[in-house]
Structure 1
């Protein structure tokens, strides 16, 4: 039997925190020097090609849907990635679409997949994943005829071996494995036992825990196996890999499922969303990952198909709520945090930062989410000024604070500065050179008043990001915010499989957020994976990832 560890050593905390938030922070720190016209063009759709009526607003789902055509074999697809991949070891990379997840799925495949048509997790490489009545036990069944490219059986022992590697390292998956045991009950069956009920447990196996590498290859060369990885995915043959530059994978001719139809898939890093959009529009790349609103809308308006994900709380201002007992921070006082919130109008921020083309909201779950919540707090500069003056009079504070951002996002930070100074703050904008520097300021130094941040709460399983960011027991809680009622709601949210009750819980969490203002939500974060109209058969799943096993190119 395998058991997830509970080490809290400082080094483990630091490494886990860096892995956990590097991809999330990028949403708040991406360069906004792109230009271009945008609008609300594009239609949603589902995997079958059925058009979803669009009222002029973009939502999570397919855009510019295509007619179904017969698959064609051959060809190479090149995709411009949001960030470069640094390793082919699933325990090292962040694992979402922004940071290695798409590449990992092509190489290793995934056990489970999120189906946006049904709103449920479904087996992909797995044969089944079934819970008991109270979601404290899950049984994973694997097919009996799948092997890795080195001939090693893809069985329950292989899955357990890979999960244990996550548990033994500082991987991004490790926090989700705490309180979890797993046992190989027969060659094709793995039983998971959870200390607390979790109805969304399939997330683990649709995400980083679903990238399974050959144990034989790892054990043969524990230090260097990832230089020549062995997987069972549709593109499990390594053709070229240069860390931070390009990854090329050839088709796996012995793939267990449908496809692959492509001969090769190439993942290349291209700096800047405008550059990736231009590469797609000019047909230099067959696909690209685009995050900023203006270039994303430009590609959609040009009629290019794709899949759009709108991440909830993807962009917000994190405030120091007194982390590590820093009660002398102005933002540790609820009045100051509320004054910050009341001074900022998300629509005004959107107009200044994104030419009005973003997805502004002050709610944890945005208006385009299936779990939309509603913040009852409206921008009110006069009330912000009153609360601020009350705090200044009581403490003698002069209103000086800093807000931290990264190179490339200065303009948006300056718009926040202007809104806050307008009500009596004296805000300094501090610009750090890298996202890693920002993470260090939060998790290592705990030295910040306000900082650009992102939670990226997924509709498919909102508990994951909410728990990591807001639970008082989470080692990755970045603000120091703590509320006993919220902790109880998070436990209930984890177990809930009733849509109506899930919505009620999220509404209650929104009320607690609005009452305490741990931070200021600014917008939902768009993540668009766009492709050339000649590309077909791209399959979306969680965490802004897509699968290419059924993908082909016509014409």
Structure 2
């Protein structure tokens, strides 16, 4: 392994130098092993809030939590549900009560036994924490309790909800006694989980360090220590893997051509669980007319954006649910690129060139966002749609999309459900959620319906929702981006479709 103790020592020096510029929190583990493989993982960012899994729901935070904590149900690398703390689960006939049998051989890192009461406490704590970002997952949860014999946890919901098992993949279980004793902030500084790795230290803005938990119920990992290093700059991430100071890093698709064939790294890519889309404020100006919105649907050449802007690193789509996510409907194809049809629809609508605002972020969540926005502008102008472009930083755009909800017309956005289920994006965008600019009772009804059925019946409802959206242009999906990783060739790590870093099963040469 090229990442050695010497490398980590160098990183520690860098971290020490950084202490003059940022606050730090460090808690040493008493069980640090003197031998074993250590790896460094470059994270683009760290959680905006304290890294408490009861409060924080960020992708950056989940990269820590998937290694330090367990959940009732886990997602494998392909996004499929697998048992973890739960050995099995079942629901009543209308999906309003779910019962999960809990393993009886699990210990937390402090040696205490994990019980169904800890599971129930964790969910109850989320319900009682107004600042928790996980509350959005809990809207249907009425109550949670451990069974009388302590073998199971029971969830009672306030409405039918067939995808409830997917929600449990987002909740990391904490020990009730420790969490109640420490409180949220102190627990974040010295977390105790039951996962394959235990917490060592955290330096804000620099790194988060964990080490192998030898008594892990699923078997001790091969990797001994992981340093999650915050590296925002994409060139620094790639150069780190090339030099051997970093073992795993997310890289931009535009960087791939320059390093293909380099023996110092392996490149792994997969289509992500997210969808980049054109949001539409259906109450704004000309966008109130469904004919204008439908014209936009057919004016954009999604395949051209993927091939010419993203260099082939993506997959065109007209569904808000990515292909790897439950709810994707194979029967619904990509909306046809037909500029003549778009012009005809605009004529029928009586569109006379009224300006339509188009807002986008110039940095942040969407790679090559400015280039994508400019390509869309070109396609719309080609059919006669007058768009006025406004670029801004990601924080400002996100604050307006989800906070003030005052988008002026069109906006470029993306969504990737960490639960790998289509309910969350569907609810948020079509049924009164935080990103619902559609104001459509018809789509809200379909979203409610998919919660009452399962299997192919549920996929059929998602297909109906996708077809309705294409016809009315309520929201315009564009593509699922390709995620590319640079990896040390000695590391046997499999990228996950949900974009998380999990190392329980990682091998090292």
TM-score by length of 1: 0.75
C-alpha distance 371-528 of structure 1, shift in aligned 2 (>3 A): farther
Residue 360 of structure 2 is matched in structure 1 by: 405
Within-5 A mapping of 1:130-209: 130-168=90-128, 169-180=130-141, 181-185=143-147, 186-207=149-170, 209=171
Residue 39 of structure 1 is matched in structure 2 by: none
* 1:524 is the counterpart of 2:487: no
Q: Kindly indicate whether the alpha-carbon contact (under 8 Å) linking 2:63 and 2:501 is maintained by their aligned counterparts in 1.
A: yes
Cα distance in 2 for partners of 1:455, 1:232 equals 30
What secondary structure, in the 3-state scheme, does the structure 1 residue paired with 2:316 have? coil
Q: Kindly indicate whether the alpha-carbon contact (under 8 Å) linking 2:41 and 2:247 is maintained by their aligned counterparts in 1.
A: yes
Q: Kindly indicate whether the alpha-carbon contact (under 8 Å) linking 1:80 and 1:285 is maintained by their aligned counterparts in 2.
A: yes
Deviations 1:373-394 (A, max 9, x none): 434742222332343345456x
C-alpha distance 198-278 of structure 1, shift in aligned 2 (>3 A): farther
Within-5 A mapping of 1:207-356: 207=170, 209=171, 211-222=172-183, 223-238=185-200, 240-290=201-251, 292-295=252-255, 304=266, 306=268, 308-311=270-273, 314-322=275-283, 328-356=284-312
How much has 1:224 moved relative to structure 2? 2.6
Deviations 1:293-317 (A, max 9, x none): 44468778768264734325x1111
C-alpha distance 469-252 of structure 1, shift in aligned 2 (>3 A): same
Within-5 A mapping of 1:81-120: 81-86=43-48, 87-96=50-59, 99-115=60-76, 120=80
What secondary structure, in the 3-state scheme, does the structure 2 residue paired with 1:100 have? helix
C-alpha distance 212-295 of structure 1, shift in aligned 2 (>3 A): farther
* 1:551 is the counterpart of 2:506: yes
Deviations 1:7-44 (A, max 9, x none): xxxxxxxxxxxxxxxxxxxxxxxxxxxxxxxxxxxxxx
Residue 358 of structure 1 is matched in structure 2 by: 314
Q: Kindly indicate whether the alpha-carbon contact (under 8 Å) linking 1:281 and 1:299 is maintained by their aligned counterparts in 2.
A: no
Cα distance in 2 for partners of 1:296, 1:462 equals 30
Cα distance in 2 for partners of 1:539, 1:429 equals 36
Match of 1:497 among 430, 437, 454: 454
C-alpha distance 458-493 of structure 1, shift in aligned 2 (>3 A): farther
How much has 1:406 moved relative to structure 2? 1.4
Residue 21 of structure 2 is matched in structure 1 by: none
Residues 359-368 or 222-231, more deviating: 359-368
Give 5+ residue unaligned stretches, structure 1. Answer: 1-72, 323-327
What secondary structure, in the 3-state scheme, does the structure 2 residue paired with 1:226 have? helix
Residue 37 of structure 2 is matched in structure 1 by: 75
What secondary structure, in the 3-state scheme, does the structure 2 residue paired with 1:429 have? strand
TM-score by length of 2: 0.81
How much has 1:265 moved relative to structure 2? 0.6
Q: Kindly indicate whether the alpha-carbon contact (under 8 Å) linking 2:47 and 2:58 is maintained by their aligned counterparts in 1.
A: no
How much has 1:131 moved relative to structure 2? 2.8
Aligned-residue RMSD, C-alpha: 3.0
Residue 15 of structure 2 is matched in structure 1 by: none
Cα distance in 2 for partners of 1:200, 1:368 equals 15
Residue 122 of structure 1 is matched in structure 2 by: 82
How much has 1:366 moved relative to structure 2? 5.7
Residue 398 of structure 2 is matched in structure 1 by: 438
C-alpha distance 390-274 of structure 1, shift in aligned 2 (>3 A): farther
How much has 1:264 moved relative to structure 2? 0.8
Deviations 1:128-164 (A, max 9, x none): 3333344332212222232322344311221122112
Deviations 1:329-383 (A, max 9, x none): 3222212212222221112223442234432233445678764343474222233
Match of 1:385 among 335, 343, 352: 343
How much has 1:522 moved relative to structure 2? 1.4
C-alpha distance 465-514 of structure 1, shift in aligned 2 (>3 A): same
Q: Kindly indicate whether the alpha-carbon contact (under 8 Å) linking 1:237 and 1:251 is maintained by their aligned counterparts in 2.
A: no
* 1:372 is the counterpart of 2:330: yes
Q: Kindly indicate whether the alpha-carbon contact (under 8 Å) linking 1:107 and 1:236 is maintained by their aligned counterparts in 2.
A: yes
Cα distance in 2 for partners of 1:138, 1:538 equals 32
How much has 1:524 moved relative to structure 2? 1.0
What secondary structure, in the 3-state scheme, does the structure 1 residue paired with 2:86 have? coil
Q: Kindly indicate whether the alpha-carbon contact (under 8 Å) linking 2:272 and 2:483 is maintained by their aligned counterparts in 1.
A: yes
C-alpha distance 267-330 of structure 1, shift in aligned 2 (>3 A): same
Q: Kindly indicate whether the alpha-carbon contact (under 8 Å) linking 2:271 and 2:482 is maintained by their aligned counterparts in 1.
A: yes
Cα distance in 2 for partners of 1:373, 1:91 equals 38
Q: Kindly indicate whether the alpha-carbon contact (under 8 Å) linking 2:271 and 2:315 is maintained by their aligned counterparts in 1.
A: no
Cα distance in 1 for partners of 2:258, 2:101 equals 44
Give 5+ residue unaligned stretches, structure 2. Answer: 1-34, 364-368
Deviations 1:42-91 (A, max 9, x none): xxxxxxxxxxxxxxxxxxxxxxxxxxxxxxx8111111123223432013
Q: Kindly indicate whether the alpha-carbon contact (under 8 Å) linking 2:402 and 2:434 is maintained by their aligned counterparts in 1.
A: no
How much has 1:183 moved relative to structure 2? 1.6
